[in-house]
Amino acid sequence: MYSKKIVIRYAADIVDKPVVYSLVKDFDLAFNIMRARVSPRREGLVVLDLTGTKKNFDRAIGYLKDLGLNVESLSKSVTQNIDKCVHCGTCLSFCSTNALDIDTKTMKITFDPEKCNGCELCVKACPPRAMEINLL
């Protein structure tokens, strides 16, 4: 089984379509809604944890993009605010994917969003709140 967290940003003209229903019915994916903000005639946002076969997942992402939805991995929504970061290293012990690392030459914390799984543990652990989730 394949599992991945995604962020879907809706345009106002598609908010009323049963997009998540199609992911279940047409692509045999299970979902967990982690966060959602969808209002009639307005832009919306849904964060889903999708589970199914990789083939069905890839087909479903293609379907979403064909509808004109902006789809991205949740990991791209975790960011490091360099202006707030004091490079204390507290976040390092909470990151199980090694998305956070320390540059031993500069002793600065670096963040690789491609390695991030979006668990948000670093966000909660960061004393100056330099690790941020950008969902809304």
CA distances from 75 to 11, 67, 98, 99 (A): 21, 22, 13, 10
Residue type, 99: A
Q: What is the pLDDT of residue 133?
A: 80
Superfamily of domain 2-68, CATH level 4:
ACT domain (3.30.70.260)
Q: What is the pLDDT of residue 114?
A: 78
What whole-number percentage of the chain has pLDDT above 90?
56
Model confidence over 59-113: pLDDT tens digits? 999 999 999 999 988 765 788 999 999 999 999 999 988 999 999 999 999 999 8
What's the pTM value of the predicted model, to 2 decimals? 0.58
Where exactly are the structural domains of the chain?
A: 2-68, 76-133
Please report the sign of the dihedral spanned by the C-alpha atoms of residue 92, residue 111, residue 59, residue 135: positive
CA–CA separation, 112 and 100 (whole Å): 6
Mean pLDDT of the chain: 89
Please name the CATH architecture into which domain 76-133 falls: 2-Layer Sandwich (3.30)
